[in-house]
Amino acid sequence: MECGVSAVIFDMDGVLLDTEKVYLESCCAAAEEMGIGDVSDVCVSCIGITAEATKKKFLEVFGGEEECERFWDISRRITRERLSKSIPVKPGGRELLQYLYDNGVPMALASSTKTEIVIRELISVDLFGFFTRIIGGDMVKSSKPDPEIFLTAASSLGVTPDECIVIEDSKNGILAASSAGMTAFLVPDLVVPDDEMLKRSARVMDSLFDVISYFTDAQEERP
């Protein structure tokens, strides 16, 4: 490719879409409505994993299936209300996708969110057409930090793991990308990077604009 990149795999929530804050606020609002304690810590620990894995974590908090389902019903209602107004794209997201697309770089999206939701949200913000492949959490057996979703994305693009750059914001995502043998770029969102995240990340960047700068610099350095 013109910019020397074989393929780029993106996470969605917290990387391209500024939705993690909405999900966190919705969960906290649902907890308040139910009169239970602070759930922010368990919410943050669920960033980057599938809905099924998240439900298992929350089942440990509530102890009962009925209360857990009531919590998720309320949380989903609040989330839908907030996202129905608009879904914010992260700064630099559209510009980065356009840059890679213009340079002929194949892109996949590998999100723990269900595929139908991923497609719907990408279409709503006019980002769907940039991606060669979409891999949702319901298309794999194991949730991040298991590398399955990234390996599936690489295979669908016809590239090997070592040819891929993954852009992630969560610890679960970074661990999954690193375990897959891919180059992990960390663009933090809600989660403050710990030592393991920093160790497993090839680059830590403040925004997606910095990722564009990395690629353009690399392109200029090529002979």
pLDDT in tens, 210-223: 999 999 987 766 65
Task: Give 101-152 pLDDT, tens digit per residue.
Answer: 999 999 999 999 999 999 999 999 999 999 999 999 999 999 999 999 999 9
Round to whole Å and give the CA distance between 37 and 14.
25
Of the residues 11, 13, 146, 169, which is catalytic?
11
Task: Categorize the per-residue pLDDT at 46 as very low, low, confident or very high, splitting at 50, 70 and 90.
Answer: confident
Question: Which CATH number is 7-18+89-221's, of 2.40.30.170, 3.30.2350.10, 3.40.50.1000, 3.40.50.720?
Answer: 3.40.50.1000
11 carries an active-site annotation = yes
Sorted by where each begins, the domain ranges of the chain are 7-18+89-221, 20-83
